[in-house]
Amino acid sequence: MKIIDLSKPIKYTKSDPWFMKVKIKHKPHRKAGLLLRFLGLPKKLFPKGFEGWADDTIKKMGVHSTTHIDAPWHYSPTVNGERAKTIDEIPLDWCYGDGIVIDMKHKKDFDPITVLDIQDFLNKEKLSLKEGMIVLIKTGRDVYNGTKNFPDIGTGMSAKATEWLIDKGIKVMGIDSWGWDLPLKHLIKKAKENNDSELFWEAHLVGQRKEYCHIEQLVNLDELPIVGFKIAVFPLKIVGASAAPARVVAIIE
């Protein structure tokens, strides 16, 4: 069995944009040793070779800062009139299943991925989607992860392509770009240029009427075959949250 890590390391990266920065305080072993002495255990009674335990505190990390899975609650408070699920409420059986990689590396920055793009790929590879699969969209933009312009470049999913996947029985899908849609700054620019309120965040907002989750900021999709593997994407159980970091892995038997 081979396990491939598809998750970005959680650490401070100077070049990350301010809204993605992670800050972690690492506490050395001797700090706990001082605490033990304060609690009444003299150093002479410490076990041999023991100085204390290491500890760490996450000082800052947004739930969307690194590789994460978005809950329906992120897109809208309701889905088709019903209250949307937060990340702790999504069924765990959504988070494990057969994986498939849809190669969209040929798509240029700001050119949305369409239904036809996905259908052409599946037809070319003689593949079909099955209910419960986890679909991974490979754009190749993970090479920019950790750089300042990562959120501002790349392709992304169209609303129709997102809805098409959901209608095929896909509950969880993911991408190696910063976001599921085209870049935010580009969407804002286009909405203003066209005076069209339907152009902003169109793929995310499919979640207003159809329930689904997507993973953002995946890495290492080039290491996967197109099919023939399982995906596990279990989020941290953060009560009431719109998303959660996840250790996303591919398992190849």
Distance CA 85, CA 222 (A): 32
**Is residue 72 in some structural domain?**
yes
pLDDT at 168: 98
* 73-130 pLDDT per residue, tens: 999 999 999 999 999 999 999 999 999 999 999 999 999 999 999 999 999 999 999 9
CATH for 135: 3.50.30.50
Distance CA 215, CA 174 (A): 4
pLDDT at 32: 73
pLDDT at 5: 98
Tell me: do 115 and 140 sit in the same domain. Answer: yes
Pull the structure tokens for residue 126: 């003689």
AA identity, residue 12: Y
Pull the structure tokens for residue 195: 């005076």
Tell me: do 122 and 80 sit in the same domain. Answer: yes
> How far is CA 86 from each of CA 58, 70, 152, 222, rounded to the nearest angstrom?
22, 9, 27, 31
Q: How many other CB atoms sit within 10 Å of the CB of residue 126? A: 6
Q: Report the b/e string of 194-208 with b at 16+ CB within 10 A.
A: eeeeebbbbbbebbe
> How far is CA 195 from each of CA 192, 199, 200, rounded to the nearest angstrom?
5, 9, 11
Closest CA to 125 of 252, 229, 225, 4: 225
pLDDT at 33: 74
Number of domains in the chain: 2
pLDDT at 82: 96
pLDDT at 22: 95
pLDDT at 42: 83
Residue 175: partners with Cβ closer than 8 Å, 6 or more residues away: 136, 137, 139, 156, 157, 214, 215, 216, 218
Tell me: do 89 and 154 sit in the same domain. Answer: yes
What backbone phi and psi angles, to 5 degrees, belong to 228? 95, 30
Task: Answer for the pair 219, 198: CB distance below 8 angstroms, yes or no.
Answer: no
**Is residue 207 in some structural domain?**
yes
The residue segments making up the domain with residue 43 are 23-60
β partners of residue 26? 56
What is the DSSP code (8-state) at residue 156? -
How confident is the chain (253 residues) per 10-residue block, as mean pLDDT? Answer: 97 89 92 78 83 90 96 97 97 98 98 98 98 98 94 97 98 98 94 88 96 98 98 98 98 95
β partners of residue 246? 235
Tell me: do 43 and 73 sit in the same domain. Answer: no
| β-strands 68-70, 78-79 pairing | unpaired
Q: How many other CB atoms sit within 10 Å of the CB of residue 131? A: 9
Tell me: do 32 and 99 sit in the same domain. Answer: no
Tell me: do 104 and 127 sit in the same domain. Answer: yes
Predicted TM-score (pTM) of this structure: 0.94
